[in-house]
Amino acid sequence: MTKETQAPKIYSVSELTKKIQNALEERFDVLWLEGEISNFSAPVSGHYYMALKDERAQIRAVMFRSQAHHLMFLPKNGMKILARGRLGLYAPRGEYQIILDYIEPMGVGALALAFEQLKKKLAAQGVFDKAIKKPLPFLPQYVAVISSPTGAAIRDFLKVIGRRFANMEIILIPVRVQGDEAVSDMVEALDLVNRELKVDVIVLTRGGGSLEDLWAFNHEDLALAIRRSKIPVVSAVGHEIDITISDLAADFRAPTPSAAAELLVAEKATLVNRLDEIKARLISGIMNNIRYGAQRLAHLIRLLKDPKKRIAESWMRLDEKHSRLIKTIYSAISDKQKDLDHEQRSLLANSPVVRIKSMGQKIDFHKHALVTSMENCLKGMRSPLSLLEKRLTDLSPLSVLKRGYSITRRLPEKTVIRDCFTLNKGDRVQVLLSEGEIECRVEKITGEQTKI
């Protein structure tokens, strides 16, 4: 076959996709891309999915969990970034995307952005609230210092303490204050001091440095450990212009390690001078009170010339008032006794016993009159009742039957027969007598009209 007549190369979808993938990955190994984040999502898997776009186009991007874990900030929609990655093709959907391994926000450093994000997050949780911060003791006896044992910060701190108040006991907890392991060291040190040591205050300190050098003090775990501490915490990190998350979370912030030492204790000479001043004021006050008391006592001595005479007069007045009181009491008792006798006589005159006896007599009289009246009434009612009883007896059908009469009833209906015209020959009848009854058959009927 000639070249013109050869069959065209037919690719499967997988083959074509694989060739495109190889071409993209060979052509674009590592590249830098500038764009704006949109459609950002961070599922529970820990991967970051997003799209990077400009005014005319967009491309899908993904940052896997292993790289996303090292980011100092959280990407957001609308954020302009500078990203590094490599092109790849996701075969199941036939879509190309950029696989990111580094992201840097444009216009602001990653560490500065991470600092602001964490600051807003912790402020919303109330970590920086002044209401929950603990007061410092006036003159702590035991101080725990969490710092590097070889740094300039601990030397400055001890120098100021030794100059101002050499009697204070300082316990140094050595930790790393820079690098990836510094955060865990300081968190463990805070928990250790709260758990094992009896100190009055904790000082967390290190010398100055760049934002990267001080980054261990801008970690969320350290801020939460500071707030979790039951012992007051003083944060003295860097220079006066350096502000860290630990400064905001601590109970007190000192601009430098030396300032932290000055904050904790007043100068010993100043305290001694103040005590001497208070002592002098106290002695002066006591002496003034003694002088006033002596003057008052002298005045009372002058007033108290002859106490026996005043006591005798008091006894006489007391006896006189006693006699008058006894007379008044007896007079009052006598008056009350008279009133009581009068009331007693009045009560006897109006005693309920007398009234009850009188009412009893009246009740007996009315009872006798009522019984007599009822008996007379009954007697009057018995006479007409006897007459009615006699009339009822005379009118009773039984009395009529006893006089020789009878009652005839048709059988089997037992209806009373009042004339002979309702009977026929051969009918059965029942005849009731005064004693007993007779059952008969009609043989003959006699009347004005005769029926045979």
Q: Supply the CATH number for residue 233's domain.
A: 3.40.50.261
Domain boundary among 208, 232, 266: 266
Instruction: Please check whether residue 251 lies inside any domain of the structure.
Output: yes
143 in a domain, yes or no?
Answer: yes
The CATH number given to whatever domain includes residue 71 is 2.40.50.140
Contact 101, 67 (CB under 8 A): yes
**Domain ranges, residue 401:** 395-452
Q: Which of 64, 89, 107 is the last residue of a domain?
A: 107
**158 shares a domain with 258:** yes
Q: Are 77 and 144 in a shared domain?
A: no
pLDDT in tens, the chain (452 residues): 455 556 777 777 777 777 777 777 777 778 888 888 888 888 888 889 988 888 788 888 999 888 887 777 788 887 888 888 888 877 787 788 888 888 877 755 666 777 778 788 888 888 888 888 888 887 788 889 998 888 878 888 888 877 777 667 888 889 898 877 888 999 999 999 999 888 889 999 888 777 777 888 888 888 899 899 999 999 888 776 778 888 888 888 888 888 888 777 754 556 667 787 888 889 888 988 998 988 888 888 777 666 666 776 777 788 888 889 999 999 999 999 988 988 888 887 777 777 788 888 889 888 888 988 888 888 888 878 888 877 787 777 777 777 777 888 888 888 888 888 788 888 888 888 878 888 898 888 887 654 44
> How far is 263 from 164, CA to CA, in rounded Å?
11
- Considering its fold, how many domains does the chain have in total? 3
Residue 242 belongs to some domain of the structure: yes
Asked if the structure places residue 240 within a domain, the reply is: yes
Q: What is the pLDDT at residue 329? A: 92
Instruction: Collect all residues with Cβ–Cβ distance below 8 Å to 233 and sequence separation of at least 6.
Output: 190, 201, 202, 203, 204, 226, 250, 251, 252
In a shared domain, residues 43 and 165: no
Shared domain check, 94 and 38: yes
- Same structural domain for residues 172 and 100? no
The answer to the question of residue 113 being in a domain is: no
In a domain, 53, yes or no: yes
Whether 69 and 181 share a structural domain: no
Distances (CA, A) of 104 to 107, 114, 184, 213: 9, 11, 26, 19
Q: Are residues 78 and 173 in the same domain?
A: no
The pLDDT value given to residue 190: 92
In a domain, 89, yes or no: yes
The answer on 140 and 48 residing in a single domain is no
Among 228, 244, 266, the domain-final residue is: 266
Claim to verify: residue 57 and residue 168 sit in the same structural domain: no
Q: Indicate whether 61 and 162 sit together in one domain.
A: no
Judge whether 423 and 411 are in contact, CB under 8 Å: no
Which residues, at least 6 apart from 325, have a Cβ–Cβ distance to it below 8 Å? none
| Of 261, 248, 241, 260, nearest in space to 218 by CA | 248
User: How far, in Å, CA of 303 to CA of 341, rounded?
Assistant: 56
243 and 165 fall within a common domain: yes
Quote the pLDDT of residue 3: 52
Closest CA to 197 of 250, 140, 126: 140
Do 39 and 81 fall into the same domain? Answer: yes
Residue 437 in 3-state DSSP?
A: strand
Residue 444 Ramachandran class (φ > 0 left, ψ -120 to 50 alpha, else beta)? beta
**Domain-located, residue 291:** no
DSSP letters of 84-113? EEEEEEETTTTEEEEEEEEEEESSS-HHHH
pLDDT at 325: 92
Distance of CA 251 to the CA centre of its chain: 29
